[in-house]
Amino acid sequence: MELYQIKTFVAVAEEGNMTRAAKRLHASQSTISLHIKSLEEEFDVRLFLRTPKGMQTTAEGKVLLEKACVVLESVDTFENEARRFKGEISGVARLGLQTSPIYLKTPQLIKCIKEKFSALSVHLVQIPTWTIRSDIAARKLDGGFFYANCAPEEVDGILLENTILNVVGPASWQDRMENASWEELAKLPWIWTPDECSFNVKLEEAFSSRGLEATKVMIADSEDTHNALVRSENGLTVMRHDEADDGVKNSSLYIWPGGHIEVGLYFGFNKKKKSDPIVLSLLECVEKVWNEK
């Protein structure tokens, strides 16, 4: 049994899919399949059931998965100690961004990392909030920014700010929105967000707490898509205040003056990697950048 086989076993179990596991490990699907087959033959135990829904761990596989995770955590601890002896933090920091790099102060963050940890390189990945959280939990990312309505359970997170979200519509809809109540807003067409999105939760709360249901004409999972659809008069949505304000300044958007909602902006990391030098380096720089006025 080799360490790479254990990593493959954990990746397939967490992904539930050979193709995604192969992509995660930067290997071919045939290689991933061979690793699993070799483990099963070596110990004469079936680790997975191949089903139409993907790879499901067997009862024996679930027990061994717990042990495999312990092994990988021990390897992480070993690597962390080895880096400390070296005295210089190096490697690749995998960082998830869920919204505008400018809004997340990414240029300042990269500058800080270069100044303090010159041997550390950064791999930036632009993906949705819900993917960032699951990728941190699965150790695909060392850290990442995400929105959440409360402190997340599956990862550790530090609250950076409460982000203001404005209800926005096309500038040409000002007359329809200016004096509108929540009830009147609900009757207008809305560009909604996916169920996994924190914006979705806040919007549902805003309407359901008033006994209302919004008129949802479409769902989009990209902030840029929402922006474009609103500007082209397809409906209302919620948008970060800075983006909404830019739209007002260039006369393409209108901000409803009747109120706003808020959602927490967090920086998170895997709970089991609190002592990882790369994670600690990211945290140090994130806190420095976000605490600067």
Q: Does domain 91-293 have CATH number 1.10.357.10?
A: no
The CATH architecture one would assign to domain 3-85 is: Orthogonal Bundle (1.10)
CB-based burial, 240-274: b 16+ in 10 Å, e otherwise: beebbeebeeeebbbbbeeeebebbbbbbbbebbe
Consecutive H or E run containing 168? strand 156-170
pLDDT tens figures, 9-49: 888 888 888 888 888 888 888 898 899 999 888 888 999 98
Domain boundaries, the chain: 3-85, 91-293
Q: How far apart are the first and last CA of the chain?
A: 53
pLDDT tens figures, 252-288: 999 999 999 999 999 999 887 887 888 999 999 999 9
The predicted model scores a pTM of 0.76
**Radius of gyration (C-alpha) of the chain in whole angstroms:** 23
Q: How far apart are CA 145 and CA 102, in angstroms?
A: 13
